[in-house]
C-alpha cells in the first residue's frame, strides 16, 4: 500500500450528521452504505442509555462491520455536578449505564460537553471539576477515556481553560471540535496545540461566520492545511470524525470525506518536502 494512504488517519463520521432524520441505529446502516467504517455514536434519547439498546447497536455494528471509536453524551443528561441529591444519583446511574453501553461496543472514548451554564461561577466550576474526577475514574475503570469537548457555549472554550483542566490533573482527555473553536473565536490550530498529547477524538466540520452551522468540510472558510498541520504536529493518531449538520444529500458526506483525505495528503506531502 502507498505510504501516504497507509499512514493517513481513518475518516469516520458521527451519527449526529444524520439527526433528526434517522434513528441512531438506522444512521449506522446509512453510514455503512456510504463506505465509512469508523463511527462516533451520539446517544440522543434516555432509552438509548440502556444495555438493551447497547445490544441493538452491537448487533448492527457487527453486521455492518463498523468500529465504534466513541460515544457522544447528550449534554443535558449529564449535569453530574447537580446539587440536588436525587438528581445527582439519577445522573450517575445514567452515566454507569452509558459505560456499560460503551463496553458492549468496544468504544475507546466518550465525548462530553461538561459544564454548560454558570461558566463564570468559581463554585460551580469547582463542582464540575470534582464531578469530572468521579466520571473520569469511572470511565477509566471501564476501559474508556472520558473526553471534554471544546464547545462555544460550555466551559471548555479556550487554550487557557484547557490548561486549567491539565493543571487540575483531571482524569480526562480532550475532544477537539473545529467548528466550535471558530464559534469561540479561537484559532483551531492553537487549541489543538493546547490539547496536545491528551487529544483523543477530533470532530471536523467547516465554518462560515454568517450562514448555516456545522458545514461539511470544504464548504466554509476554515484554514484546513493549518488545522491538519497542527493535528499532524500533535501526533494525533485517532480517527477524524465528520460532524456536519442538516445534510440532505448523502453524497455530500462522501465528498467531505474525499476533501479531508486530499487535504491530509497535501499536508503530508508538504511535511515530507520540508523534512527532505
| Predicted pLDDT of residue 3 | 42
12-67 confidence digits (pLDDT tens):
999 999 999 999 999 999 999 999 999 999 999 999 999 999 999 999 999 999 99
CA-nearest of 100, 98, 25 to 63 is: 25
232-257 confidence digits (pLDDT tens):
999 999 999 999 998 989 999 999 99
In this predicted structure, the answer to whether residue 274 has a pLDDT above a threshold of 80 is: no
SS3 40: strand
User: Are the C-beta atoms of residues 203 and 244 closer than 8 Å to each other?
Assistant: no
Q: Report the 10 Å Cβ neighbour count for 274.
A: 7
User: What domain count does the chain have?
Assistant: 1
Structural domain span for residue 86:
3-275
In this predicted structure, the answer to whether residue 228 has a pLDDT above a threshold of 80 is: yes
Spatial separation of the C-alpha atoms in residues 164 and 166, rounded to whole Å: 5
CATH number for the domain harbouring residue 242: 3.20.20.150
What does the block give as the cell for 32? Answer: 455503512
Amino acid at each position: 500500500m502507498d505510504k501516504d494512504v497507509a499512514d493517513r488517519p481513518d475518516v469516520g463520521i458521527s451519527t449526529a450528521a444524520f439527526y433528526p432524520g434517522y434513528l441512531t441505529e438506522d444512521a449506522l446502516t446509512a453510514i455503512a452504505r456510504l463506505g465509512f467504517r469508523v463511527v462516533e455514536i451520539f446517544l440522543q434519547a434516555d432509552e438509548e442509555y440502556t444495555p438493551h439498546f447497547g445490544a441493538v447497536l452491537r448487533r448492527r455494528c457487527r453486521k455492518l462491520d463498523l468500529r465504534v471509536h466513541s460515544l457522544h453524551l447528550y449534554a443535558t443528561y449529564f449535569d453530574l455536578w447537580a446539587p440536588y441529591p436525587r438528581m445527582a444519583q439519577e445522573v450517575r446511574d445514567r452515566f454507569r449505564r452509558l459505560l456499560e453501553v460503551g463496553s458492549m461496543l468496544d468504544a475507546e472514548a466518550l465525548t462530553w460537553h461538561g459544564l454548560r451554564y454558570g461558566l463564570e461561577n468559581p463554585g460551580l466550576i469547582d463542582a464540575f471539576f470534582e464531578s469530572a474526577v468521579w466520571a473520569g475514574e469511572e470511565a477509566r475503570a471501564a476501559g474508556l477515556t472520558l473526553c471534554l469537548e471544546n464547545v462555544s457555549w460550555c466551559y471548555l472554550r479556550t487554550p487557557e481553560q484547557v490548561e486549567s483542566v491539565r493543571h487540575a490533573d483531571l482524569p480526562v482527555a480532550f475532544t477537539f471540535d473545529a467548528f466550535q473553536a471558530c464559534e469561540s473565536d479561537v484559532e483551531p490550530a492553537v487549541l489543538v496545540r493546547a490539547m496536545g498529547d491528551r487529544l483523543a477524538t477530533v470532530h471536523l466540520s467547516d465554518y462560515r461566520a454568517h450562514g448555516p452551522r456545522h458545514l461539511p468540510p470544504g464548504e466554509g472558510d476554515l484554514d484546513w492545511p493549518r488545522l491538519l498541520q497542527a493535528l499532524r504536529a500533535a501526533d494525533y493518531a485517532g480517527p477524524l470524525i465528520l460532524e456536519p449538520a442538516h445534510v440532505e444529500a448523502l453524497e455530500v458526506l462522501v465528498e467531505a470525506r474525499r476533501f479531508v483525505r486530499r487535504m491530509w495528503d497535501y499536508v503530508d506531502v508538504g511535511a515530507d518536502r520540508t523534512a527532505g
